[in-house]
Structure 1
Amino acid sequence: MKNFPRLTTLALVSALSTSTWAAEPAVEDFGAYAESLLGQAYPADGPGAAVLVVKGDKVLFRGARGEANVEADVPLTADSTFQIASVTKQFAAAALLTLADEGKVALGDPLSKYLPDYPGGDAITIEQLLDHTSGIKNFTAIEGAMEGAVSRELTTQQLVDYFKHHTPDFQPGAGWKYNNSGYVLVGAVIEAVTHKPWHAYVEDALLDPHGLDDTGYAADATIAPAVVAGYTHVDGRPVAPSVQFHLTQAHAAGALASTVDDLADWNRALHSGRVLKPTTYNRMVTPTGRGKEGDYGFGIGRGSVRGQEVLEHSGRMYGYMSRLLYLPDSQTTVVVLHNSDSPGDRGHPDTVARRLAAAAIGKPYPLVVPVELGSDALRVYEGVYRVDDESTRTLRVVDGVLTAQRSGSEPLPLIPVGSDTFYYQGSFTYFTLERDEAGALVAMRFFADGEGVGDLAPRVDKPAGTQRL
């Protein structure tokens, strides 16, 4: 049986009412909202975040909360430098694409053209490395890979040798799976073509031309001293991560460091057409459409916030998390850089970034304010709701908390917020329960990430009340 804590309040209390915001919120109002949000997401005396929100040419908010070094009581500032983890992939992809624009690489080229000794390289294309469809074994998922060996300094060849003989997850082009190995190979191809370390070429082709002076290889002597300390939480206390991941192994999949200002400038350069040719840029941001994961282009994912398209990437590694968003319709950039890998729901960079983006376009997410419902009232909602031909979503009360369980998944606690409406804890996802004219529950309308018109799931059965999880 899984025990769920009782939920009292998760209300996001803003310094102002957001219900009347226009599409262009006043800077002072937005600043008050952002300060309130950061104040509830991060403690002043622990790891925190630097944040920047820019809409067009207007800076809506630039600030920070928390500490860059908890032990020395050094505060974070908006100028602080963080490891950005997998946001690095966006730079690596763009760097390789500049070589494509110069005719030095073709996306349809086989990997074997650049790494002749790579097993099966004749069947793997450069494009498949960029969009995670190569099937190559992700080296960070190999058993034992994230233990002591990750602290070793490795050359590119040594890192490639580590994973190249492992059985692929699928044949090239036959599926999609997020893959750090693929981006190590992106870096290796850059090196084979330019005869420079991958990060040196990124600096020459992208960082220097666009004035990104505070971005670079996090192991470099000019960058490393500026990077804030990274933490993980153990028993509620921030401590240094137990795993020391050598940045040579993060490679082109995650070894850059940056600041909120540089990442906003990067967004402006990339998405305004100053980095790549138009056709190349369009390929970078256009998903290949392979199954439900077909929302990923080359180093950039697609999503939505309050009905607006979002081009995005996140990052997570030992001690750090990051989120970079761009909303093309409103030319809005949101950057959240966090110096912990275990921030909790309200401090998760994805949560903070989405709330800020929604508020920036005048459509803030509603406040999540729970209402008290006893076990008897919650049991009315117990039932099975048909999602599709292969899966259901079951509602059941466990230890006084209503939970939702998708077929094959763990039960998740829900927050009642009003008449027949429930949010998932720490999420924007919610559902409403629909009734017939007699008041009987007949269906669930599910809003993933709080977006869209909702997917309807009819009620088909009621679970046995004696079943325990």
Structure 2
Amino acid sequence: MAPRGVRGRRATRALAAVAVALSALLAGCSSGAGGATVTAIGAQAGDRMPDATAKQLQAALDKAVKLSGGSGGVAGVWAPWAGTWTAASGTVSRDKGAAPMNVDSSFRIGSITKEATCTVLLKLVADKKVGLDDEVSKYLPRMVGLNGLTLGGLCQNTSGFADYWSSLNPQMVTNPGRNWDAVELINSALGKARVGAPGQTWSYSNAGFVLLGLALQTATHQNWQTLYQKYVTGPLGIADTTTLPTGTSLPSPSPTGYAADRDPVTGATNCKVLDDDTGLSPSAMQQAGGLVSTLDDTASLVHAVAAGALLPAGVAAQQQKAVNMSDSMPSWAQYGLGVEKMGPLIGHASAVPGFATAAYSDPKSGLTVVVMVNSSTPGANFARLVALQLASIGSKASASSGHKQPAIGLPWTADQLAAVLPSETGCNAAAAPGDPALKAIGSIGPDY
């Protein structure tokens, strides 16, 4: 399918405000910190990426869709010095005669939600309504087993709090419409031993973000639909990023989301059966991964977070103060408050039942990438590696007249990522060579 430029009603609305706002962001201003509307996508140099770069990007997306086992995907690369590329590949479902994938599709962004959740926390910290070192028990005094857990520790996955994902994920795959109560998810984690003492061990915990969500909702007496709109989507001026608190239908247009079947008792994966998880209840993920968005809106969100546009400068710096995740990880792979740091890129990767998604942005150059495939079977690291591959290709896009190509020091190459991707595809995995560092980042944490 041929690449598409920034088109459609969402892109038109988003680009209407981009020229001034993006210039301010790339100049180091925090135009969103004072409450002004900011939009963090677009290209100052023009609407279309150079043809040679667009061709490489399309080939990478097409290959990723084929490897994923899904039916289609969408991706975008925004390079302010060169141009913008957004594209779709494949079809909206595996059904015979299915329509082509739509670049304006809605999909579940999973753990990219964590960026928005921790931005809300930091905004509340800036407004002196809560503190990063506040213990969770201050806000949830009747809940036992929370000793030593802090709001900031939950956001950085350093609380030592266990997770519910490995034990409940099979049920979520096979029964996606089931409604989950926040306390039910938290209790599943409370029933497990702590991974480590608070502040001493990095360990990925979706349950920690659900606990954080409950604590902040109690502290503010506001629901999360209000908090996200007030502190994230409202200031960004993005209208297609939503939660679905009472239903499971994705806004149209949207693709079918697939996942390999899981035995709800043993957790074993049956790669011969694909479940339709399009109707996954957002209650399964909540503040850890419950947001639904689009290509353009996701780019706006990740770029704004990376640029610190939604927070005062000092607080924004706290979000990006990262820790090493393990000794096996490369030194350039770290974790801040709800954000991954992959070299100079800031963002997150995810695989919720039905969708694998990743989005990253470089705060200095403005380079931003987003990718989604409609199969979660390959896992979050597959989406992560595809996004990093697209970033590598996009970083080398030649500058248009009047613009200078920035030097972006990415500690990987597109060829390295292309080599390792076949071994990261879940059911379709094949032996493949590759840089051990790139394979190591697959152990960041459980999917979504």
Q: Does 1:64 align with 2:99?
A: no
Quote the residue 1:73 is aligned against.
98
Equivalent of 2:208, from 173, 182, 185?
182
Quote the residue 1:159 is aligned against.
185
What CA distance in whole angstroms lies between the structure 2 residues aligned with 1:369 and 1:213?
34
**Greater Rg by CA:** 1
Quote the residue 1:254 is aligned against.
289
Cα gap change, 1:159 to 1:91, in 2 (>3 Å): same
Equivalent of 2:199, from 173, 176, 181?
173
Cα gap change, 1:31 to 1:145, in 2 (>3 Å): closer
What CA distance in whole angstroms lies between the structure 1 residues aligned with 2:244 and 2:310?
22
What CA distance in whole angstroms lies between the structure 2 residues aligned with 1:367 and 1:94?
33
Cα gap change, 1:243 to 1:33, in 2 (>3 Å): closer
For residues 307-318 of structure 1, the aligned pairs below 5 Å read 309-318=344-353
Q: Does 1:124 align with 2:163?
A: no
Q: Does 1:360 align with 2:360?
A: no
Equivalent of 2:219, from 171, 193, 200?
193
Quote the residue 1:232 is aligned against.
259
Q: Is contact 1:47–1:339 with CA below 8 Å preserved after alignment? A: yes
Quote the residue 1:388 is aligned against.
none
Equivalent of 1:448, from 426, 429, 437?
437
Alignment partner of 1:123: what SS? coil
Quote the residue 2:337 is aligned against.
298
Q: Is contact 1:215–1:262 with CA below 8 Å preserved after alignment? A: yes
Cα shift at 1:69: 3.1
Quote the residue 1:322 is aligned against.
357
Which letter maps to 1:355? Q
Cα gap change, 1:231 to 1:181, in 2 (>3 Å): same
Equivalent of 2:161, from 136, 150, 156?
136
Cα shift at 1:150: 7.1
Q: Is contact 2:114–2:209 with CA below 8 Å preserved after alignment? A: yes
What CA distance in whole angstroms lies between the structure 1 residues aligned with 2:374 and 2:245?
17
What CA distance in whole angstroms lies between the structure 2 residues aligned with 1:144 and 1:31?
37
Alignment partner of 1:92: what SS? helix
Q: Does 1:267 align with 2:333?
A: no
Structure 1 spans left out of the alignment, 5+ residues = 1-23, 371-402, 404-411, 416-422, 430-446, 452-469
What CA distance in whole angstroms lies between the structure 1 residues aligned with 2:342 and 2:178?
36
What CA distance in whole angstroms lies between the structure 2 residues aligned with 1:271 and 1:74?
35
Equivalent of 1:102, from 91, 111, 127?
127
**TM-score with structure 2 setting the length:** 0.70
What CA distance in whole angstroms lies between the structure 1 residues aligned with 2:52 and 2:203?
41
1 or 2 for the larger relative contact order (CA 8 Å, sep ≥6)? 2
Q: Does 1:339 align with 2:374?
A: yes
Q: Deviations over 1:429-468 (max 9, x none)?
A: 1xxxxxxxxxxxxxxxxx62399xxxxxxxxxxxxxxxxx
Q: Deviations over 1:295-334 (max 9, x none)?
A: 1111111122xxxx22121011111110011123422000
Q: Deviations over 1:209-250 (max 9, x none)?
A: 211111111455697333432013578878334797532121
Q: Deviations over 1:382-429 (max 9, x none)?
A: xxxxxxxxxxxxxxxxxxxxx9xxxxxxxx9865xxxxxxx33xxxx1
Cα gap change, 1:140 to 1:244, in 2 (>3 Å): farther
Which letter maps to 2:102? T
Which letter maps to 1:303? M
What CA distance in whole angstroms lies between the structure 2 residues aligned with 1:233 and 1:150?
13
What CA distance in whole angstroms lies between the structure 2 residues aligned with 1:70 and 1:159?
32
What CA distance in whole angstroms lies between the structure 2 residues aligned with 1:344 and 1:143?
16
Cα shift at 1:289: 4.1
Alignment partner of 2:236: what SS? coil
Alignment partner of 1:321: what SS? strand
Cα gap change, 1:112 to 1:219, in 2 (>3 Å): closer
What CA distance in whole angstroms lies between the structure 2 residues aligned with 1:344 and 1:66?
19
Cα shift at 1:94: 0.8
Which letter maps to 1:50? V
Q: Is contact 1:135–1:176 with CA below 8 Å preserved after alignment? A: yes
What CA distance in whole angstroms lies between the structure 2 residues aligned with 1:301 and 1:178?
11
Cα shift at 1:185: 1.1
Q: Is contact 2:120–2:227 with CA below 8 Å preserved after alignment? A: yes
Equivalent of 1:349, from 383, 394, 397?
383
What CA distance in whole angstroms lies between the structure 1 residues aligned with 2:394 and 2:439?
17
Quote the residue 2:238 is aligned against.
212
Q: Is contact 2:113–2:287 with CA below 8 Å preserved after alignment? A: yes
What CA distance in whole angstroms lies between the structure 2 residues aligned with 1:333 and 1:321?
17
Cα gap change, 1:335 to 1:218, in 2 (>3 Å): farther
Which letter maps to 1:232? A
Q: Is contact 1:124–1:172 with CA below 8 Å preserved after alignment? A: yes
Q: Is contact 2:72–2:88 with CA below 8 Å preserved after alignment? A: yes
RMSD: 3.6
Quote the residue 1:82 is aligned against.
107
Cα shift at 1:36: 2.0
What CA distance in whole angstroms lies between the structure 2 residues aligned with 1:75 and 1:267?
26
Q: Would you identify which runs of 4 or more consecutive aligned residues in structure 1 move more than 6 Å? A: 147-150, 234-238, 367-370
Which letter maps to 2:372? L
Question: Higher strand proportion, which one?
Answer: 1
What CA distance in whole angstroms lies between the structure 1 residues aligned with 2:310 and 2:418?
44
Question: Higher helix proportion, which one?
Answer: 2
Alignment partner of 1:352: what SS? helix
Cα shift at 1:87: 1.2
Which letter maps to 2:94? V
Q: Deviations over 1:244-276 (max 9, x none)?
A: 753212111111111110011113322333201
Q: Is contact 1:119–1:165 with CA below 8 Å preserved after alignment? A: no
What CA distance in whole angstroms lies between the structure 1 residues aligned with 2:379 and 2:207?
28
Cα shift at 1:54: 0.3
Alignment partner of 1:330: what SS? coil
Cα gap change, 1:240 to 1:331, in 2 (>3 Å): same
For residues 374-413 of structure 1, the aligned pairs below 5 Å read none
Q: Is contact 2:78–2:368 with CA below 8 Å preserved after alignment? A: yes
What CA distance in whole angstroms lies between the structure 1 residues aligned with 2:378 and 2:358?
13
Which letter maps to 1:107? L
Structure 2 spans left out of the alignment, 5+ residues = 1-45, 262-269, 397-409, 424-428, 441-448
**TM-score with structure 1 setting the length:** 0.67
What CA distance in whole angstroms lies between the structure 1 residues aligned with 2:361 and 2:297?
14
